[in-house]
């Protein structure tokens, strides 16, 4: 709770929401969706979470998501509080037209009589079109309506990164396995393929090479990976291949249609 809510004058009401992107590509690396995947195992759309010490409210227009969370959230929250202190938990299905009023109510309930800060994902809220749909617009409206004079919103991004960086034994084992697979693909498939293309002066685009590398990730035999089954593998993003002096160092970069050249090849 120290990480999420801080101490003293630190933020004490966490408010996060997602919109309704039309494709998975638009989800990208948004921390709101990452948080939901981390907490609930799904990138939930049109879902809001409001949390303060002892209080957790989840609001969504997705009936299936609400049904699933009603099964898992109360039990998880029961383990969060100090001994003898139970969390007040509410998971509710709402209509889009009623969303703003529901958000205002949840934030005010979590805040109580205090003039607590709200911790929000400032960058996501400020960017146009990141979270499309009326649900997220209603969330932004509620944040504006519940503003308190002299109390600034605090950026939650770094705090969430710290919280999600902590791994349990199961997660740690998966990270190690992912590192083993990545290393094997790089060493046993991608480096030899790069050398072959450059030595034989073949014309192969960065995008095609990226697709080949992704296929190698999903097929253990191509990278000589032992002890891992195909259904245990997936790529978190298409491999990024860049060369010839044109580079984009962002994690969201894409392999382009230019052909591979032997002038400083970047692979990630």
Give the pLDDT confidence of 61-108 residue by residue, as tens digits: 999 989 988 888 877 766 665 555 677 888 999 999 999 999 999 999
Coil/strand/helix, residue 16: strand
Per mean pLDDT, which of 116-120, 135-139, 145-149, 170-174 is the most reliable?
A: 135-139
Tokens 């499309």 identify what position? 132
* CB count in 10 Å sphere of residue 180: 14
Q: What is the mean pLDDT of the chain?
A: 86
Write down the pLDDT at residue 69.
86
pLDDT of residue 129: 80
Closest-CA residue to 25 (of 267, 254, 255, 257): 254
Per the listing, tokens 């801080």 go with: 6
Across 140-166, average pLDDT = 86
Q: What is the pLDDT of residue 189?
A: 94
C-alpha 20 chain-centroid distance: 14
Question: What three-state secondary structure class fits 50?
Answer: strand
Strand partners, 152: none
Phi, psi angle pair for 37, to nearest 5°? -65, -40
Going from the C-alpha of 22 to that of each of 62, 112, 129, the distances in angstroms are 15, 36, 11
Is 169 strand, coil or helix?
helix
**pLDDT one-digit tens code per residue, 187-203:** 999 999 999 999 999 99
Rounded percentage of the chain residues whose pLDDT exceeds 90: 43
Please report the beta strands in 87-135, taking only residues with DSSP state E, as ranges in sequence order.
88-93, 118-120
Tens of pLDDT along 12-39? 789 999 998 876 655 667 899 989 888 8
In whole angstroms, what is the distance from residue 236 CA to residue 115 CA?
Answer: 40
The confidence band for 10, taking pLDDT boundaries of 50, 70 and 90, is very low
Whether 146 and 111 have beta carbons less than 8 Å apart is answered as yes
Of the pLDDT bands very low, low, confident and very high (cuts 50, 70, 90), residue 139 is: very high
3-class state of residue 64 by DSSP: helix
pLDDT given for residue 165 in this prediction: 87
**For residue 259, with 0-12 CB atoms within 10 Å meaning exposed, 13-18 middle and 19 or more buried, which class applies?**
middle
Going by C-alpha positions, the residue among 53, 57, 55, 56 that lies closest to residue 6 is 53
């Amino acid at each position: 709770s120290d990480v999420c809510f801080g101490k003293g004058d630190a933020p004490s009401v966490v408010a996060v929401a997602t919109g309704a992107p039309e494709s998975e590509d638009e989800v990208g690396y948004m921390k709101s969706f990452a948080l939901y995947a981390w907490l609930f195992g799904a990138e939930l759309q049109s879902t809001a979470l409001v949390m303060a010490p002892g209080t957790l409210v989840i609001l969504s227009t997705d009936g299936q998501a609400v049904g699933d969370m009603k099964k898992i959230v109360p039990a998880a929250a029961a383990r969060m509080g100090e001994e003898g202190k139970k969390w007040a938990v509410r998971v509710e299905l709402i209509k889009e037209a009623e969303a703003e009023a529901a958000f205002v109510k949840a934030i005010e309930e979590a805040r109580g009589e205090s003039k607590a800060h709200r911790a929000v994902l400032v960058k996501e809220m400020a960017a146009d079109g990141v979270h499309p749909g009326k649900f997220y617009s209603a969330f932004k409206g509620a944040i504006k309506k519940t503003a308190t004079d002299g109390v600034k919103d605090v950026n939650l991004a770094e705090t969430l990164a710290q919280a999600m960086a902590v791994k349990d034994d199961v997660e740690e084992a998966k990270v190690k396995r992912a590192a083993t697979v990545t290393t094997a693909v790089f060493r046993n498939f991608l480096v030899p393929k790069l050398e072959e293309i450059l030595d034989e002066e073949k014309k192969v685009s960065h995008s095609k090479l990226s697709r080949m590398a992704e296929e190698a990730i999903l097929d253990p035999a191509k990278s000589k990976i032992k002890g891992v089954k195909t259904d245990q593998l997936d790529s978190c993003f298409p491999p990024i291949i860049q060369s010839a002096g044109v580079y984009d160092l962002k994690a969201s970069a894409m392999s382009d249609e230019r052909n591979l050249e032997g002038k400083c090849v970047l692979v990630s």
